[in-house]
Amino acid sequence: MQILSAQVNETPFFRLSQSFKENLLFLFRFICDPLTMGSLFPSSKALATRMVVRMQPSIEPKRYLEVGPGTGAVTDSILQKMGPKDTLDIVELDPDLCRVLRKKYEACRNLKVYETSIENFESANYDGIVSSLPLNQFSVDFVETIFKKYLHMMKPNAFLSYYEYKYPKMVAALTERGKRLKKIQLLKSFYGEKHQEKIETVWKNFPPANVRFLQKNPVEIATA
């Protein structure tokens, strides 16, 4: 897609200073609210590229939703794969990040920023949802609410891609939080069994991450 505002000023120096500023802002937001941010740094290009691998070119206009865009690391990859008639809604909780996103993508006519928590966002009929929420930081009940909501918002056969960092599992057994992670893991596998699931590890990210893909099973629509 050609209307990425970041592309207007595409000198190498601009790109470098832009990504430095974004990393700094991300880190600052993490220090202010580590549980909501869930990570010290934005996703790497390698992780962002894997997250959008299910987006396919199509003649029909497609509707995409991104949840938890942060400073836009994955948004950039989504925009690169979108066709001219596709649209993207992005839902971000943090007002400072929303301000940055609105500025960064002000030239993108088919992108809308919604400043709210995903639990309060109402929309439907998405062809794909790309979620970067830090699920392992949330309670099991909240993860279940989010998954139900995602399935409700997806068209039959739509995809959901999301990631989780690999490191919490290594320390999981040692902590109370570990038990919660295990329960969340079980919950996610439950949805994975009902809807086709695939998992890929991306090592070129700090920390390395498992990217999970769900494809909504049309037969399960009534019970989702």
Q: Which is nearer to ligand SAM, 145 or 217 (CB)?
A: 145
Instruction: Please state the separation of Cα 113 from the chain's center in Å.
Output: 14
Residues lying near ligand SAM in the complex (CB under 6 A) are found at 36-39, 42-43, 67-70, 73-74, 91-94, 97, 117-118, 132-134
Q: Least Å distance between CB 69 and ligand SAM? A: 5
Length of the chain measured in residues? 224
Looking at beta carbons only, is 119 or 193 nearer to ligand SAM? 119
Q: CB 215: neighbour CB atoms within 10 A?
A: 18
Q: Amino acid letter at 212?
A: R
Q: How many CB atoms lie within 10 A of CB 11?
A: 8
Cβ distance to ligand SAM smaller for residue 138 or 191: 138
Minimum Å gap between C-beta 149 and ligand SAM is 10
Q: How far is the CB of 38 from ligand SAM (least distance, A)?
A: 4
181 neighbors 168 (Cβ within 8 angstroms): yes
Taking the least distance from each CB to ligand SAM, the nearer of 49 and 217 is 49
Burial class from Cβ neighbours inside 10 Å (0-12, 13-18, 19+) for residue 75 reads: buried
Q: How far is the CB of 44 from ligand SAM (least distance, A)?
A: 9
